[in-house]
Structure 1
Amino acid sequence: MLQLNQADQLTCNSNPSGGQSVFRVDFRAGVRNALPKVAILLCTYQGQRYLAEQLASFEAQSHTNWSVWASDDGSKDDTLAILEAHQQKWAEGRLFMLSGQAQGFAANFVSLTCKDLIEADFYAYSDQDDIWEADKLARAVQWLQTLPAGVPGLYCTRTRLVDADNNEIGFSPLFSKFPGFANALMQNIGGGNTMVFNNSARQLLREAGENKSVVTHDWWAYMLVTGCGGQVFYDPEPTLRYRQHSCNLVGTNSGWMARFKRVRMLFEGRFKEWGDSNIAVLNTLEHRLTPENREILQRFVAARNMSLIPRLIYLKRAGVYRQTLLGNIGLIAAAVFGKI
């Protein structure tokens, strides 16, 4: 379904101690005159109800140098018609359409991330049913531009939660602990719908390969960037309206129902399955992990196959952690019952 003409083809401070990292950026400053190009990686499936509103929020971005690469997983509703209408409405080169693999949202995002024909300065993941705040790309680009050349960078944010009719209902959890590899092994702190990353980060993701089975594309990105010595900035300022509705494939993790669901998944062995998948992906880039993070991974892998007391000792030495007190209590419980 790729629709483009040949002429259109595109030829935080680190805190090793594990404490909270503070990174201050003056987001009020203007962006550079030569605006870097952002490729918006949009995955769609049966998205007709909310898609137009999301596309309108792209149009409203204060950072104006962007293009949309929409990968559709076989929609049978009006999703393609909406995309085609915007392709005609927008300037040439603003929106490109591709066919997904029809293997689920994570596989679609991973495949889109690895496409050779997509070239830009930065890359932004996008769901089909959210609404971006006007400064979303500008904030991300300004932080990413502070990184030294060659350093993988990943920007993510808190979100403002809204219902199906765009009425505000709360916020996603506010995380305060340092975003690092020892945390990434246990959880993902950044929703994919908020993530923007640079070419160095994308190179890692492409090297890991699009044919790998991942739990979610955003967790995949968080693990690889932190593991290979990149920097992650978690912006506490919400940059999008995260729509909660009955058709959400992945909703917010806040609230007691979400906590109960995580406990149930723990005892069903889901977390252990996720750990197996994450380790397999990380082994692909083991040679790119920093020495410290390679040791963390080795201790975590060893602990999973030990008896109770050695398991707890090795996990303590690995330094793995979650962002909240309840999360870390759950981590201990998972370790005790051999469910990590």
Structure 2
Amino acid sequence: MCTFNGQRFLSEQLASIAAQTHENWEVAVSDDGSTDQTLEIIAAFSASQKKAECVRVFNGPKRGFAANFLTLTCNEGIQADFYAWSDQDDIWQENKLETALNWLQTVPSGIPALYCGRTRGMNAQGNPMECSPLFSRPPAFANALVQSLAGGNTMVFNQAARDLMLRAGDHLDIVSHDWWAYLLITGAGGQVVYDTQPYVLYRQHDGNLVGANSGVRARLSRLCMMFKGRFANWNEQNIRCLTSARQLLTAENQQKLDCFQVARKSRLTNRLLGLQRAGVYRQTLPGNIGLFLAAIVKGI
């Protein structure tokens, strides 16, 4: 879990972790310099647990949420069989971890594996809202190159996946930890499953660093970001990180990355043909239309 001035909702998230049907857990918190009651809430939660030393707190790098999650994930002082990312303001359904582990334990331990899924929104008062978009196309590196599939608050991964992130390093300037995990694990030939059933109540409030990814407003926002060049900047950032970790990718996915990289800088006809050769795709028809428009205006 990564925290920063999270006192408003933190107790509810911690309580939902304590209520998990899978009881063999520990919480590692990286706090990015909170000045409110966040650390006191964490200390009180730790003291209330029957298990000794089930909560550990680390100092974050103070470079934003993505760097905070990445450095925590790459902290070799933390060792487990499986790892889950948690935001500070959500609520987990009681069988979230159990459901994820039921799938992860079917994957051979040497294969990087990532479980992720949908979320159900809730407002600041805890009232349920709509679910995140339902995706049906298979998770793959060709999708990851142009789309972050799921929120980090849904993600649970095995030791082999964690080892990949360790090998790639915590120095990288990633766009987001969840997108990076999706890129790296699919790129290395690992397995990813997307659960269509939501097990996380994703709180929407005025302090969100990353908002919900659903509804007409969200689509219009993404379209505006495309024309402002933000999507292209994100892709450039992802490519730099993947290039740094190129040796971890399969030969096939190295070729996809190269093809995508060349296509982005090509003239229109070659750009469209190059994207087709790379096989990149988004999960929905509106998303693929947006990708095509982005390619036309050189916004990829």
Q: Do they superpose with TM above 0.5?
A: yes
Amino acid aligned to 1:221: A
In the alignment, is residue 110 of structure 1 matched against residue 70 of structure 2? yes
In the alignment, is residue 157 of structure 1 matched against residue 117 of structure 2? yes
Deviations 1:57-111 (A, max 9, x none): 0111000000000111111111011011112222212100111011111010000
Give the SS at the match of 1:119: coil
Give the SS at the match of 2:171: coil
What does residue range 86-125 of structure 1 map to in structure 2 within 5 Å? 86-90=45-49, 91-125=51-85
Report runs of 4+ in structure 1 exceeding 3 Å deviation.
none
Residue of structure 1 in register with 2:38 after alignment = 79
- Contiguous gaps of at least 5 residues in structure 1: 1-41
Residue 149 of structure 1: CA displacement? Answer: 2.5
What does residue range 84-233 of structure 1 map to in structure 2 within 5 Å? 84-90=43-49, 91-233=51-193
Residue 290 of structure 1: CA displacement? Answer: 1.4
Give the SS at the match of 1:278: helix
Question: Aligned partners of 1:157 and 1:239: how far apart in 2?
Answer: 8
- Contiguous gaps of at least 5 residues in structure 2: none
Choose between structure 1 and 2: higher helix proportion.
2
The 8 Å contact of residues 104 and 113 in structure 2, kept in 1 or not, is answered as yes
Deviations 1:172-199 (A, max 9, x none): 1110000000000001111000000001
Q: Among all aligned residue pairs of Structure 1 and Structure 2, give the percentage whose two residues are the same amino acid.
A: 54
Question: Aligned partners of 1:114 and 1:291: how far apart in 2?
Answer: 25
Question: Aligned partners of 1:162 and 1:200: how far apart in 2?
Answer: 33
Amino acid aligned to 1:245: H
Question: Aligned partners of 2:156 and 2:14: how far apart in 1?
Answer: 17
In the alignment, is residue 57 of structure 1 matched against residue 8 of structure 2? no
Give the SS at the match of 1:126: coil
Amino acid aligned to 2:232: K
User: What is the CA RMSD across the aligned residues, in angstroms?
Assistant: 0.8
Residue of structure 2 in register with 1:305 after alignment = 265
Residue 285 of structure 1: CA displacement? Answer: 2.0
TM-score of the superposed pair, with normalisation by structure 1: 0.87
The number of residue pairs the alignment matches comes to 299
Residue of structure 2 in register with 1:321 after alignment = 281
Give the SS at the match of 1:66: coil
Question: Aligned partners of 1:287 and 1:109: how far apart in 2?
Answer: 23
Question: Aligned partners of 2:8 and 2:246: how far apart in 1?
Answer: 42
Amino acid aligned to 1:292: E
Give the SS at the match of 2:26: strand
